[in-house]
Amino acid sequence: MTTAIITAQDVHLYYGKKEALKGITMQIKRGEITAMIGPSGCGKSTFLRSLNRMNDLISNVKITGEIDLEGQNIYGSEMDTVQLRKRVGMVFQQPNPFPFSIYENVVYGLRIAGINQRERLDEAVETSLRQAAIWDDVKDKLDQSALALSGGQQQRICIARVLAVQPEVILLDEPTSALDPISATKIENMLLELRQHYTIVIVTHSMHQASRISDQTAFFYQGELIEMDQTKQIFLNPREQKTEDYISGRFG
Amino acid sequence: MDPIAKSLKKRSLSAKIETRGRLLTQICTLLIVLLVLAIFGFIATKGVAVFIQDHGSLWDFFTKTTWSPDQTDLHQRPLIGALPMIVGSFAVTFLAVLLATPFALAAAIFMSEISPQRGNKILQPVIELLVGIPSVVYGFVGLAVIVPAVQKVAGGSGFGILAGTLVLFVMILPTITSMAVDALKAVPRHYREASLALGATRWQTIYKVVLRAAAPGLMTAIIFGMSRAFGEALAVQMVIGNAILMPSNLASPATTLTSVLTMNMGNTVMGTTANNALWTLALLLLLMSLIFNIVIKYLGKRSALR
């Protein structure tokens, strides 16, 4: 049995008066891929962003309940968001490499942590780019701007950038929805490889993607967690009617 | 011919209106371009007259320090050493920009990154107000406050490069600040998010990502301020002392290209050497602003490419 790395207990989140999350309780298991599915506006991205406190950047957000990372409340007063985000990395929907060279993009997280030794940076660049399955594409042009790459390549650079910091958990917010199917497949295969070393949480619009790569699937609807179980169970034998309706395409 | 074919072959009313509209805008554009070209041509022909008609030396113009165009030297060349005013112009410009840039950048960072709400509520109106104050008012304040202050601190008359720099500093501060704010706001939000999500602090995000991504825009803001400082006439003229001398220190009376022009243009007769020499100064100002514009365009293009 795998143990939980993240535990959420009755999490409510409000944008001003609007309640976007209505009491989410779930466990995310170490070393697994957890997929979050649900129609637009169901709160799955909001919940993902509360796992590394990215919602703090939006004014007017209030959050109650508790989210623990390895037993430590991330909304506790002694939690440092900078340290938290080093442990819980994030990849966004739109590929968002910095307007720097590929090399500088990958080592950004290390440089801000004060690591500047050339050998360590070089090593991190090669390791992370290999893990992100893009080393062969870019190894001869590391000093070129990352913005010159295709969307799919940019997204893999963004993943390599997160990997270089060696987080424990990687959050992905619809990482392939802006990409073509071939790039999306490459990223899916890469995530399956990464599963051995990292805990991965992915928000996705594609039910095929969720069923292909995830171990656990959580179905969100209107700010509530309707059902969470092994992916096979959710797709073949859902307990809730709403889940079944959604995955069979009756709404969404 | 049947009526449908006929109506299809005839130009429709909206097509005619379209042609007329296009013609109108083209004529207006052409007029503006012609006007600019005419001004440029006029100043250029007037500006080179002192070298061609009056046998002034281009070398003397940029290197000699004696300016009295109605007199001639041993070689029968007019005395048109413009170095003191060129030095004066560049000195006040660069010093003012050097002084204003850190303040403007700090204010811009505050407004766009640290406290946008308070920035928009308090700083924005203040800056807009500062832009709107006429330059003669700045000059007047400079004359009443800055010149006596400089006099107290540095001695002498108080008129000079330092007083000019301080007046220009206040005048270009809002220009650089508001353009720097625009440059910072144009940095996509996702750069900031990506940086913070990697465990960067807010300050690391600002100086490693936001400032770097906005660099071309910030350079444009600074050059714009420079161009404004270089071309400012009235306020500087009121506090710089208007002595056509090489400035020996920051508090000694000096002058700028624009000040010499405003002081003397009413006192010369068209076609004389003295008048032609002033046109040469005007041409130099025009060329400088052209250079500033080219640099701004170049920077804009570079940021658009990225």
Is residue B215 within 8 angstroms of chain A, CB to CB?
Answer: no
End-to-end CA separation in angstroms for chain A: 33
For residue A79, what is the enclosing H or E element? none
Spatial CA neighbour of B252 closest among B129, B152, B155, B153:
B155
Instruction: List chain B residues with CB under 8 Å of A85.
Output: 196-199
Average pLDDT for chain B: 90
CB–CB of A151/A179 below 8 Å? yes
For residue B304, the model assigns a pLDDT of 56
Q: Tell me which DSSP letter residue A14 carries.
A: E
Does CATH number 1.10.3720.10 belong to domain B83-305?
A: yes
Question: What distance lies between CA B19 and its chain's CA centroid?
Answer: 39
B72 Cβ contact partners less than 8 Å away, ≥ 6 residues apart: B78, B79
| Tokens 């042609």 -> residue | B19
Task: Label the pairing between strands A33-37 and A199-203.
Answer: parallel
Whether residue B32 is predicted with pLDDT greater than 60 in this model: the reply is yes
A85 and B208 within 8 Å at the Cβ level: the answer is no
Q: What is the pLDDT of residue B15?
A: 86
Query: Which position has the token pair 């444009």?
Result: B220
Chain A with chain B: Cβ pairs closer than 8 A: 67
d(CA B300, CA B96): 23
- The structure tokens listed for B24 are 């109108």
Q: Alpha-carbon distance B267 to B263, whole Å? A: 8
Residue with tokens 């050493």: B81
- Residue in chain B closest to A172 (alpha carbons) equals B197
B122 vs A: CB within 8 A: no
Residue extents of the structural domains in chain B = 13-80, 83-305
More confident residue, A248 or B146: B146
- B191 contacts in A (CB within 8 Å)? 96, 98-99
The number of beta carbons lying within 10 Å of the beta carbon of residue B134 is 10
Q: Do B194 and A158 touch (CB under 8 A)?
A: yes
User: Tens digits of per-residue pLDDT, A202-216?
Assistant: 999 888 899 999 999
Tell me which of A51, A69, A82 to substitute to probe the interface with B (most B C-beta atoms closer than 10 Å): A82
Give CA–CA dist A185/A177, Å, rounded: 11
Residues of B in contact with A113 (CB under 8 A): 199
Say yes or no for a CB contact (<8 Å) between A108 and B213: no
- Strand (E) positions, chain A? 4-15, 18-29, 33-37, 61-69, 72-73, 88-91, 169-173, 199-203, 216-221, 224-230
- Look at residues A249, A181, A243, A166 and name the one whose alpha carbon lies nearest to residue A212: A181
- The answer to whether the Cβ–Cβ distance between B197 and A112 falls below 8 Å is no
Query: Using CB atoms, which residue from B194, B200, B201 is nearest to A92?
Result: B194
Q: Which residues in A lie closer than 8 A to residue B198 (C-beta atoms)?
A: 85-86, 89, 108-109, 112, 161-162, 165
SS3 A7: strand
Of A54, A113, A147, which has the smallest distance from its Cβ to B197's Cβ?
A54
Q: What is residue A2's predicted lDDT score, i.e. its pLDDT?
A: 65
Interface test mutation site (partner B, options A79, A87, A98, max chain B beta carbons within 10 A): A98
Chain A positions touching B190 (Cβ under 8 A) are 92, 94, 96
Q: Which residues contact B241 (CB under 8 A, 6 or more apart)?
A: B157, B159, B160, B163, B252, B253, B254, B255
Q: Say if the Cβ atoms of B191 and A96 lie within 8 Å.
A: yes
Is the confidence at residue B176, as pLDDT, over 80? Answer: yes
d(CA B268, CA B278): 9
pLDDT of residue B72: 85
Burial tier of A224 (Cβ tally within 10 Å: 0-12, 13-18, 19+):
middle
What six digits make up the tokens of A142? Answer: 């590391």
Mean pLDDT of B3-14: 82
ipTM, two decimals: 0.89
pLDDT per position as a tens digit, B263-290? 988 888 888 889 999 999 999 999 999 9
Q: How far apart are CA B72 and CA B56, in angstroms?
A: 9
Q: Does B303 have pLDDT greater than 70?
A: no
Distance CA B200, CA A114 (A): 11
Domains belonging to chain A, first-starting first, are 4-247 (3.40.50.300)
Among the listed residues B116, B220, B221, the one whose alpha carbon sits nearest the alpha carbon of residue B172: B221
* Among candidates B190, B197, B209 on the partner chain, residue whose Cβ is nearest the Cβ of A89: B197
Q: Give the nearest partner residue to B201 out of A82, A98, A145, using CB atoms.
A: A82
B193 pLDDT more than 80? yes
Mean pLDDT value of segment B68-96: 90
pTM of the model: 0.83
- Best residue in B113, B189, B196, B198 to probe A by mutation, most A CBs within 10 Å? B198
Closest CA relative to residue A11, chosen from A61, A70, A60 = A61
What is the Cα B211 distance to its own chain's centre?
A: 23
Instruction: Kindly report the nearest CA distance between residue B214 and chain A, in angstroms.
Output: 10
The confidence score (pLDDT) of residue A58 equals 84
A56, A86, A110, A112: best to mutate for the B interface, most B CBs within 10 A: A112
B208 touches chain A (CB under 8 A): yes
| pLDDT tens, position by position, A76-100 | 888 899 999 999 999 999 999 999 9
| β-strand partners of A73 | A68
Query: Does residue B248 register a pLDDT over 70?
Result: yes
A226 in Cβ contact with A240 (< 8 Å): yes
Helix axes A102-112, A151-164, angle to 10 degrees: 30
- Show pLDDT as tens, one digit a residue, over chain A (252 residues): 468 899 999 999 999 889 999 999 999 999 999 999 999 889 999 999 999 999 888 888 999 999 999 988 999 888 899 999 999 999 999 999 999 999 999 999 999 999 999 999 999 999 999 999 899 999 999 999 999 999 999 999 999 999 999 999 999 999 998 888 988 998 999 999 998 889 999 999 888 899 999 999 999 999 999 999 999 999 999 999 999 999 888 775
Tell me which amino acid residue B25 is.
Answer: T
Distance (Å, whole) CA B187 – CA B75: 59
Q: Does B204 touch chain A (CB under 8 A)?
A: yes
Q: Which two tokens stand for residue B285?
A: 């100002």
Q: Is the pLDDT of residue B195 over 60?
A: yes
